[in-house]
Chains A and B, each alone.
Chain A
Amino acid sequence: MEVFILALTVFLLAAFIGFEVITKVPPTLHTPLMSGANAISGISIVGAIIAAGAQQTPLAAALGLAALILATVNVVGGFLVTHRMLSMFRSRKK
């Protein structure tokens, strides 16, 4: 139970920080926000690496590999496309 409460504490604090930080993002940047946050949700790549690399059972490893491919597409594609979009935002030329 203690482990669970600790994990829940971390979750709630992170959610509050998320609310505080993200309400300050201007509407102009909402699409990059979404794609960037989306890339962060690919953090399950950490679990996928462990699942694919720990080789507990063949089934577990196969599931891990599938998870790893999906998560890596999510992470690499998400950060890259966010970068591409943000590079398009140009200031008025002085």
Chain B
Amino acid sequence: MPEGVVNGAYLVAATLFILGLRGLATVRGARRGNVFSSLGMLVAIVVTLLDRKIIGFELVAVGLGVGAALGAILAVRVHMTAMPQLVAAFNGFGGGASALVAGSAIASGTVMTAATELQAVAAGAVSGLVGALTFAGSAVAWGKLQEVLRWQPGNTSIQHGVNGVLAVVTLALFALVIVDVSLQWPFWALVVAAAILGVRLTLPIGGADMPVVIALLNSASGLAAAATGFVLSNNVLIIGGALVGASGFILTTLMSRAMNRSVLSVLFGTLGPTEGGPGDEIYEGRIKRTSPEETALLLHDARSVMIVPGYGMAVAQAQHAVRDLSAELERRGVEVKFAIHPVAGRMPGHMNVLLAEADVPYEQLFDLEQLVGAFAQTDVALVIGANDVVNPLAREDPTSPIYGMPILDVDKAHTVIVIKRSLSPGFAGIPNTLFAAPNTAMLFGDGEDAVRELIGELKVTG
């Protein structure tokens, strides 16, 4: 096939990727967008298969067959709660593939005969480094999210020192790959060093910071693909990789802003000030308990209800019960909205998917920006499994570790009901002044049981 046709087809594929991502601007256009992106990928694959560079199809058929079967099984069987793990795994596969393609190009010597020798080798080294780091880091992230990997070493200065040395070794190997292009071993040493670094950087990161880590690895998998595009002088790899790199970067920024953390503090494990701020004494004598009966009466008389779900709700598998409660309230003419903080789930947008799975219409889901001022117009705010993201200390107490974090202003609602097992703190490890507020009542208990009881009481109320 003439090169012009091949490159033209790659251009079509790249255009379809862009149109596909653009489709995600609205929920309506999103499914079509995903079809566009997949079509783009199909075009790229088919034209590559028809290209004359392919002489043996057996290996290609095996690779495509095995990969497609595995991918389909994983995609069909995954539970929506396990989506962060799956995306982490896929990030790692993408990064690993990019590193291996670069390795194959270096092993076969195609890079060395290219007219653009130095750039190609340098790009190959970048691809090997970023790809291996992404693969290893994603493997650790997967293990943590899947909870098969519970070990979390401390982030001491000795650890930082070791990582620093490792980073220097990695850079030295990187230089060696470029300086002597006839040697192959520095490339593989670089891949190994980068993989070790990936493991060591991800291991100390705690569960609460995983949304940032997944987004960052997402970005890295894109950059690895783009670097491989530089090795092969292939535009569709460069464009596809750049798009993913940009997407992951935006999500990383959004997530760290939502958590009031910088990317560096996530990676190097420095928390904000933990001293200062009130202790558990703020709860003394200020906690009001309520019962499902009382809460049902309150909801019965409300005109607007805001449900604020946190990850605790998903852990308790209470989203279906919550959907039933919402439907029951709407049947009575109550306006029900869901207030969703960016870090309500384990990855960006995770809570929205969990609620969509439970059949909550997407028009009922609102994000931080859409909710500015909304709580003041709300009769009852129902907090289920959320904690730090509704803590007024983030607004009021400059000494608090979460000060400055964007929160949902739940305390501004007329009445607040918090469904929670106990007064235990959230990830930030600090007490929540919302629980002690005069307009708050606590409904202690398991999320799903409490919501089911509420529905029962509502039906009795008639």
Contacts and interface: CB of A to CB of B under 8 A. Distances in A.
Given A11-B242, A43-B241, A68-B67, A26 B104 contact: no
B108 A34 contact: no
B307 to A, nearest CB: 15
A21 B63 contact: no
Contact of A29 (B30, B235, B242, B342): B30
Contacts of A11: 226, 229-230, 238-239, 241-242
Interface in A43-75: 43-57, 59-61, 63-75
Q: In this complex, which of A15, A18, A87 has the most chain B Cβ atoms within 10 angstroms of its Cβ?
A: A18
Given A7-B238, A29-B30, A43-B237, A57 B108 contact: yes
Contacts of A81: 74-75, 78, 83, 86
Contacts of B240: 40-41, 43
Interface string B204-240: 0000000000110010011011101111111111111
Nearest to A49: B48
A28 B34 contact: no
Interface in B1-58: 10, 14, 17-18, 20-22, 24-27, 30-31, 33-35, 37-38, 40-41, 44-45, 48-49, 51, 53-57
B367 interface: yes
Interface string B78-109: 10100100110011011011101101110111
Given A48-B63, A64-B100, A68-B63, A37 B30 contact: no
Contact of B37 (A39, A57, A93): A39
B456 interface: no
Contacts of B53: 50, 53-54
A65 to B, nearest CB: 5
B107 A63 contact: yes
B280 interface: no
A61 to B, nearest CB: 6
A72 B31 CA distance: 21
- Which of under 10, 10 to 19, 20 to 34, or 35 or more describes the interface residues of A? 35 or more
A48 B100 contact: yes
Contacts of A1: 119
Nearest to B20: A36
A8 to B, nearest CB: 8
A33 B244 CA distance: 10
Contacts of A41: 91, 94, 218, 221-222, 224-225, 240-241, 244
Q: In this complex, which of A77, A85, A87 has the most chain B Cβ atoms within 10 angstroms of its Cβ?
A: A77
Contact of A28 (B27, B31, B64): B27
B243 to A, nearest CB: 4
Contacts of A34: 87, 214-215, 218, 247-248, 251, 347-349
Nearest to A87: B31
Contacts of A74: 67, 71, 90, 93-94, 97
B372 interface: no
A48 B232 CA distance: 11
A27 to B, nearest CB: 4
Contacts of A10: 235, 238-239, 242
Given A7-B229, A85-B80, 16 more contacts: A10-B239, A18-B247, A33-B247, A36-B33, A42-B94, A42-B97, A46-B45, A49-B45, A50-B48, A52-B63, A53-B54, A55-B56, A59-B108, A70-B93, A77-B70, A86-B34
Interface of A: 1, 3-4, 7, 10-12, 14-19, 21-57, 59-61, 63-93
Interface of B: 10, 14, 17-18, 20-22, 24-27, 30-31, 33-35, 37-38, 40-41, 44-45, 48-49, 51, 53-57, 59-60, 62-64, 66-68, 70-72, 74-76, 78, 80, 83, 86-87, 90-91, 93-94, 96-98, 100-101, 103-105, 107-110, 115-116, 119, 214-215, 218, 221-222, 224-226, 228-248, 250-251, 254, 340, 342, 345, 347-350, 352-353, 356-357, 359, 361-365, 367-368
30 contacts: A7-B235, A7-B238, A12-B242, A14-B239, A15-B242, A15-B243, A25-B21, A26-B25, A28-B362, A30-B349, A32-B353, A34-B349, A38-B87, A40-B40, A44-B97, A44-B224, A45-B41, A47-B101, A47-B234, A49-B49, A52-B59, A54-B110, A59-B107, A67-B98, A70-B96, A74-B90, A80-B76, A86-B34, A89-B27, A91-B27
